[in-house]
Structure formats: structure tokens, C-alpha cells
Structure 1
């Protein structure tokens, strides 16, 4: 008769004490969180490209939904193709029109700034203000450095073909079969969390569509209005300034001051009246966008606090460059929706209990 097996002895990795086991689990969780954070830092650029694909897919989906209201019988694939062809045609026009213009006009901006600083110095001296202690050369270097950073950022947007291509390809995959990827993420979650995730994903998609619709509407209104008003007054580089104003309007809080500074500097290079007119144009355009377009869109999407968006832009811009700057507010919007949905779920659970 076989003897019963002897009880297994504890191994070197077995923990028999309950308190130590609980503390070890807590330590493992924190180490796992730290590891995930380190992995996210290492994979920051690919993660931002994927998020960019999601955001751009939401923009394409919003465009095809808008077309469906005009032509409801058109197949979804045709509507998506029409949106992509229109966007591609606009980008071609943008590169042809702005590619050489930006480089040429950017070369003129340092001269314009230096001229304005010299005029400021003469005006101050004419009014009895001594300028001996004012380092104009240092100020000029700082201002020109800032302009150079803006120019390099715009050049990075135009020359980042690889990143833009990857985002474009990912967005096509996402927009063609959004349910496939949403179900794929849900499959990795516990069963009791899948319905919650579906609702969260749908709400995120709607918020992104409305947010980006507001961005595109604001870009169009600001760019076209700036161009027409400056051209009507005869301001130099009116079309280029309108184009830059429209493009920079995609960056809330940050884009408007940059485009306004460029507009005002160019305006004062043509005289005091022209400079004052450029200031008036900037105020009017930003007032219309801030008091009509933004509130109209905010009512139907995530109402983000300006300070929160600005802080996120500064942080993401420092960490991820121009791509992080562009995607800061969509990321904040998605995080806010996720937190709101989790709060709703927790409240429902407490009510049921």
C-alpha cells in the first residue's frame, strides 16, 4: 500500500503570512503602475500617433455623417471617400500655396520686428524716455527666437510626412470599421465592464466629433474673415496671415495670440492706421469666435475649462511637441468623459446597494 504524499513544503517565493501577502500585493500593484507609466513614456510617440489616428477618424466620421444628412442614400464607404478626397485636395492646395509663401514671408518677419523695435526706440526717445538701459539687441534676439520657434513648428507640421501618413492610415482603418476596434477593446475587459465601456466609447466619439467640428468651423471663420478684412484694407500678406490664423486656430488659447502678434507686427510695418486696424480685426474675429462659435459648440460637447486646456497644452507640448499640442484638448475631453462615466457608474452602484 502506497504511503500518502507528504505535505508540500513552502517554497522560497511562497508567503504564508496574510499581512505580508496583502502588502506584497499592494507593492506589486504599485510596481505594475510604475512599469506601465515607464512603458508609456518609452512608447509616448507611438501612443500619440494612435491617438491622433483616433481623433482624425472622428473628424472623418463627422464629415461623412454630415454628408449623410444631405445624401442619406449614399453608401457609407462613398461618403468616407468623398471626405478623404476633399481633405486631400485641400492639403495639396495648402502645400502649393503656402509651401513657398511661408518660407519667403518668414524671412521677412525678422526685418519687420527689428524695424518695429527701432521705431519704438525713436518714439520713446522723442517723448523723453531714455533707452540707454534697454537692450534692444537682446529683446530682438528673444523675439526673433520666438518667431523662429513658431516658424520651425509650422515647418514641422508641413514636413512631418511620416507621422502624418501613419495617422492618416490609422484613421482610415478606425473609421472604416469602428465597431471592430470598439468590440476588441471590450473583449479585453471583464464582462461586467463591457456595457459600460460601450457607452463610454460612444459618448467619447460624439464629443470628439462635435469638438472637432467646432475647431474646423472656428478655423474657417477666423481664416476667411481675417483674409477678407486685411485684403480689404490692403494689408500686406493678407492671404498668408489669413491662412496662418486659420491653421493656428486649431490650437485653442495658444494659436490666437501667435497669429494676432504676427498680424499686428505686419500691420504696423505699413503705418499706425494699418496697425490699429489689424488690432481691431484681431479683436473682432476673436470676439466672434469666443462668444458665438465656442459657446454654441460647447453646449453639445464637453465643456472644458480654458485653464485646464491651457495647462494640458503646455504639458503635452513640452512632452510630445507639436503633436501633443494639437491633441491636448481631445485627450482632456476623453479623460473627462471617462471620469464622468466612472462617477455615474459608482453612483449607480451605491444606489443599488
Structure 2
């Protein structure tokens, strides 16, 4: 236990010390983990490991570049337009609420109507404050031009060499495991691998499907900035409830300003989110993620906030995988504790002694 705890402390200190340069390596390692099954499949088809790695990475780079040049100009234009129009839309929404305040007072009562007005004003101030500080926050977490260039150049190189030597690294780690506990450690590592696959491959797939559906559906119904809002809501869905709340709030607010007094269009925008939440919760998540991860949403949000505060954008990227690893280790620790004489008492200790004898 002391050795493993010491190893964990050293790892955290190294991450904190080198947090400023870790982003390309973290992204490259995640990309290598994602693509390793494809490279293994090509090897089964008699491809050399180096050629398989090269073909897979070139295919991924081609897809990413084509998507970049096809959609990024349009998305960037919508995001910039949304940021520029946000203060005006908030003012329009406040004016709309003020115009219908007599009806709202009659429906909710004066006290609740005043509370609603205060809540809308408070949310508007917070949203505008967030938008005003967003450029500075992006610089603080490392999303500068130099960092983007570093990711673009270094990430494929890191992913290539990790993929090329993946089997050698696995054999090297396997050779370092203590022989007496090797089977047990490999069982824990297998559980961690399943959990990581569920997080990176499963939840990553759900996240991309969320972004694609919201962006497409909101654009088709004619919502202003629907593409940008859909992508924001979908890509934020890795944080429990946050992606849905942000996307839903932005979409409904824009729909009220744009379509009022056509309540059917506002209801249609609400229906898009409620429908997809049903599909995600009952079909996508069980099929793509399943029971491979079992992380409490509160623990997930704590991990995101804590690691984001410590390591910046690198911490946000590491938070979900590290939460999955920690969940596996905690379950393993609880199982070991329940099998120990400390939990079972003298009877468990006697049984252990008899078994050893």
C-alpha cells in the first residue's frame, strides 16, 4: 500500500510540475488509446505494425482536416455572432418579460413574478459576465495560439510513436508486475481498461452524437445560431447535466426572442432536447457505455472542478478518465476490506489462519 500510495503522490506531483506542456502528450495518448484497436485489426489482416499505424493516423488526419475546412468557418462565424448578439438578445428577453409582466403577475402572483424577474436579471448578468471573461479564461487554461499549434504538430507525432510501440509498452509493464500478485493486479488493470474504454470510446461516442443531433435539429427548425448552440450543448454533455442545461437554456432563450409569440416553435425547441434526452438515457448510453463505468455524477463534477483548478485544461481532459480509474480502485479496495479480518472480525482472522495452515 505504501508503494502504491507513494507512486500516486509522485505521479500527481509530476503532473502538476509539467502541467504547462502536457496537453499535446495527453491528447496524443488518448488518441493512441482510441486507435489501438484499429491498428490491431489491421495487424490481424497481415499489415505490418508501422504501416498499420501510418494508415490509421493518416486516415484520422484526413477526416479531421476535411471536417475542419468544411464546418469550422461556419461554426466560428456562428459562435462569434452569438457572442456579439448575446447582450442584445438578453435585453430583448428582459424587455419581453417586462412587457408581459401584468399577465405574469396575474398568473404567478406579484411575489413569484418579482422572484422570476429577479432570477432572469441575475442569470442575464452572470451570462454576460461569463461571455466578457471568456477570452481571458481561455488564455488562462492554455488555449493560446502557441498551445493550439503545439497540439496540432506534436499530437500526431506522440500518437504515432505510442501506437508503434504499444505492444512493447504493455509487455514492459507486465514484466514489472510483482510475480506473487500479478494475476490480481492484471485483473484490476483489466477492469480499469474496461472503464476507460467506456469513458473514452463509449461516452466520447455519445458526446459526438449529442453534438451532431442538437446542431442538426436546431438548424433545421431555423433557430438562430442553432449550429453553435447545438455543438456547445452537445460537447458540454461530458459534465453531468451541464450540457443539457446550457444547451436547453440557450436554445429556449433564443427561441423566445426569435419566435415570440409563436409558442409552437418554442415548444418544438424544448421537444428536441426532451426527445434526445430520452433517446440518450434509454438507448445510446446503455448500448455505447453500458455498465463499464459506475461513477456518481457528484464525484464526476468534483473531479472536473478539482483537476481543472489544479491543472487547467489538461486537468479537465484528465478528470473523467481519472475518475473512472479511481472508481475501479475504490471498488477494489472496498472488496478487499470486506474480505479482511478487520471487517469480518476474529472469525475471518481464524478462517484466514486455518486456510493458511
Task: Give 5+ residue unaligned stretches, structure 1.
Answer: 1-25
Matched, 1:311 2:295: no
Matched, 1:85 2:73: no
8 Å Cα contact 2:34/2:201 also seen in 1: yes
Q: Distance in 2 between matches of 1:84 and 1:345?
A: 45
- Give the match's secondary structure for 2:223: coil
Q: Which residue does the alignment assign to 1:42? A: 17
> Cα deviations across residues 133-159 of structure 1 (Å, max 9, x unaligned)?
959876533221234456776797685
Q: Distance in 1 between matches of 2:101 and 2:283?
A: 39
Corresponding residue to 2:28 among 53, 63, 72: 53
Q: Which has the larger radius of gyration?
A: 1
Corresponding residue to 1:233 among 221, 224, 230: 221
Compute the RMSD of aligned alpha carbons.
4.1
8 Å Cα contact 1:60/1:84 also seen in 2: no
Q: Which residue does the alignment assign to 1:280? A: 271
8 Å Cα contact 2:195/2:324 also seen in 1: yes
Give how far 1:282 is off.
1.4
Aligned residues: 324
Matched, 1:161 2:148: yes
Q: Distance in 2 between matches of 1:138 and 1:310?
A: 23
- Equivalent positions of 1:198-213 (< 5 A) are 198-213=186-201
> Cα deviations across residues 138-187 of structure 1 (Å, max 9, x unaligned)?
65332212344567767976854145344443333222221223344455
Q: Which residue does the alignment assign to 2:127? A: 143
- Give the match's secondary structure for 1:301: coil
Structure 1 residues 263, 74: CA separation in 2 closer, same or farther (over 3 Å shift)?
Answer: farther
Q: Which residue does the alignment assign to 1:95? A: 72
Structure 1 residues 35, 231: CA separation in 2 closer, same or farther (over 3 Å shift)?
Answer: closer
Structure 1 residues 210, 322: CA separation in 2 closer, same or farther (over 3 Å shift)?
Answer: same
> Cα deviations across residues 90-137 of structure 1 (Å, max 9, x unaligned)?
344443332333222221122212211222233225544486995987
8 Å Cα contact 1:215/1:249 also seen in 2: no
Q: Distance in 1 between matches of 2:268 and 2:297?
A: 28
8 Å Cα contact 2:35/2:56 also seen in 1: no
Q: Which residue does the alignment assign to 2:255? A: 267
Q: Distance in 1 between matches of 2:85 and 2:322?
A: 36
Matched, 1:119 2:107: no
> Cα deviations across residues 234-266 of structure 1 (Å, max 9, x unaligned)?
222233333333333344432222222222222
Corresponding residue to 1:293 among 284, 288, 305: 284
Q: Which residue does the alignment assign to 1:104? A: 81
8 Å Cα contact 2:23/2:151 also seen in 1: no
Structure 1 residues 94, 321: CA separation in 2 closer, same or farther (over 3 Å shift)?
Answer: farther
Task: Give 5+ residue unaligned stretches, structure 2.
Answer: 341-351
> Cα deviations across residues 69-106 of structure 1 (Å, max 9, x unaligned)?
9x956663333432343234334444333233322222
Q: Distance in 1 between matches of 2:282 and 2:42?
A: 29
Q: Distance in 1 between matches of 2:315 and 2:137?
A: 12
Q: Distance in 1 between matches of 2:124 and 2:158?
A: 43
Structure (1/2) with the larger helix percentage: 2
